[in-house]
Amino acid sequence: MNFLDRLAIPESAEHIELLRVLLVIVTLLFVIYASIALVASTSAAVAEWLGRKRGDKNFSKFAKDLADLAAPGKGVILALGVLPLIALVLIYVQLLYGMRIGAAGYLTASAIFYFVGFYFLYSYKKSFHFDSIYSTFRSLASATGASVMPEIAEEVDKFERSAVAVRRRGGRRSAILLLIGTWLFVGTTRLVLTPARWSHPVFASVVFSGDAIWSLIDFIIAALVITSASVLFFFFRWEKGIALTADTSYRAFVKRYTLPVGITAAALEPILIFFQIQNLPQSGVSNMTFVIACIAMFIALLVMLLFYSMLKEANVYLGSYAFIGVVLLVLAWAAKDEIAFHYATQGQDQRLATRYQTMLASLSPGTVAPVMSGVEIYNNICSACHMFNTKKVGPPYFMTLPHFVGKMDSLEDFISNPYQAVPGYPPMPKQPLKPQEVNNVAQYIMGVYLAAKKAGKAQYTQ
Ligand code: HEC
């Protein structure tokens, strides 16, 4: 996704810190909303199907209320789903600039699935509202003594049939699209946390690696906890609750289906967090992530207890606490991943900050930005990762330069646009060099190599 890379601008170290805080906040909003959208739309489709099959009105009403929860309105979808996702993509583009692991591309693909999914979800929710228009029409018609013209009644029937068909499709489609979007999203965020996989960031591993599938299961279970708490909170508490006016049998129905799911998922959560810490990529482990993970486990247990006491006693007010608990849980989860990400990409931050310094220098008035000589560039930039005779972060030059003898153009191409070349090494990040500087450093390292070769001193150790 080169065009996305062009959106990245040089940033100072302070800005990068700011972006990381922003990443946690935006992730918090998005994960909560995306979880509710995924689970509530899937459950609505299932509840609607059950309602039709069993002729149980409660299921149909539950389906409608779930669709309302998943897609309260265009504004909410925009504010909690669409905008945070765009912000997330842009933040990752910025933080991973020049790393070429394809994360921005996968995230964009995920965003497209989400957006289309949100669109279907919204029309799905809308279709329920048509229903109430039809039933109002019917009751009006019967109240006025069936004086409605037959053509109009027929027309209404036709519309209703097509609305129901659209709805069935809409529910299923949004659930499937949101699931694919989630899968890509979760797979990419795992890839970003795992430097060991950056040398081969293939699509298949983003979706099908054990790591990605585990994370997807993690996400779905967390999403079940989040949605259960949201149902209890928004149905019963928020602005007096959607379900408060409803009959008691419906309220009991909602609790009967929501609480056991919430309890089971919340009980699994600490176990999953435990395994997540075990599997955290080595570079991402730190004491801080460990502490946060323990806090997350504790909150998950607390949420489970709240659900449980709601099941035993009829205390729906606990729904508010469960919802707050869930928000804290997601916050802990986002913070933990962010810290792991921070550790995984430490070197990257330094490079971004260097790039910013270079840009500042080139902007200072009156000075024509100086061009560095080959040896300066080697000492200031390349030597951080390369030595001539031994392996550092990158391969020893004495090992790779023989391929480039007589091919200075290819060497310059590689330096200005590095690609995956030597097996067993991570990709080389793009360096902020002017064309003249690329030429200088290529001449310099080749010169050193040829001189060493002539003197019979071009041996290297791997
Ligand atoms: C942040 C670490 C890092 C920096 C800085 C860095 N490199 Fe690299 N370089 C690598 C890695 C890692 C590889 C192996 C890349 C691969 O195989 O994809 C590599 C590979 C190379 C290769 C071998 C390419 C091949 O096809 O065999 C050359 C040449 C090279 N770098 C030159 C440079 C020059 C010149 C600079 C300074 C302008 C530089 N590198 C700065 C990490 C770095």
pTM for this model (two decimals):
0.69
**Domain extent at residue 439:** 371-454
Q: Give residues with Cβ within 8 angstroms of 356, minimum separation 6.
A: 10, 11, 12, 13
CB of 173 within 6 A of ligand 1: the answer is no
Q: Whose CA is nearest to atom 36 of ligand 1?
A: 382
Sign of CA dihedral 399, 404, 408, 414: negative
- Average pLDDT over every residue of 284-300: 81
Say how many Å lie between the CA of residue 396 and the centre of ligand 1. 9
Q: Is the pLDDT of residue 391 over 70?
A: yes
Q: How many domains does the chain have?
A: 2
Q: Is the pLDDT of residue 367 over 60?
A: no
**Per-residue pLDDT reduced to its tens digit, 25-45:** 999 999 999 999 999 999 999
CB of 400 within 6 A of ligand 1: the answer is yes
How confident is the model at residue 4, as a pLDDT? Answer: 63
**Per-residue pLDDT reduced to its tens digit, 85-97:** 999 988 888 888 7
Q: If you write DSSP's letter for every residue of 376-445 in order, what string do you get? A: HHHHHTGGGT--SSB-SSSPPHHHHGGGGTT-HHHHHHHHHS----STTSPPPPPP---HHHHHHHHHHH
Q: Which of 99, 349, 385 to mutate to test the pocket of ligand 1 (most atoms within 8 A of CB)?
A: 385
- Give yes or no: residues 237 and 382 share one domain: no
Q: Is the pLDDT of residue 223 over 90?
A: yes
**Per-residue pLDDT reduced to its tens digit, 436-460:** 888 899 999 999 999 999 998 888 8
Picking from 13-22, 73-82, 108-117, 234-243, which range would have the lowest pLDDT averaged per residue?
A: 234-243
- Of the residues 297, 313, 348, the one at which a domain ends: 348
- Give yes or no: residues 323 and 292 share one domain: yes
- Give yes or no: residues 394 and 251 share one domain: no
Say how many Å lie between the CA of residue 217 and the centre of ligand 1. 37
| Gap between the Cα atoms of 278 and 182, Å rounded | 23
- Give yes or no: residues 390 and 437 share one domain: yes
**Per-residue pLDDT reduced to its tens digit, 49-58:** 888 888 888 8
Q: Is the pLDDT of residue 236 over 70?
A: yes
| Residue 441 CA, closest ligand 1 atom number | 35
- Average pLDDT over every residue of 71-77: 90
CB of 8 within 6 A of ligand 1: the answer is no
Averaged pLDDT of the chain: 83
How confident is the model at residue 210, as a pLDDT? Answer: 81
- Give yes or no: residues 411 and 334 share one domain: no
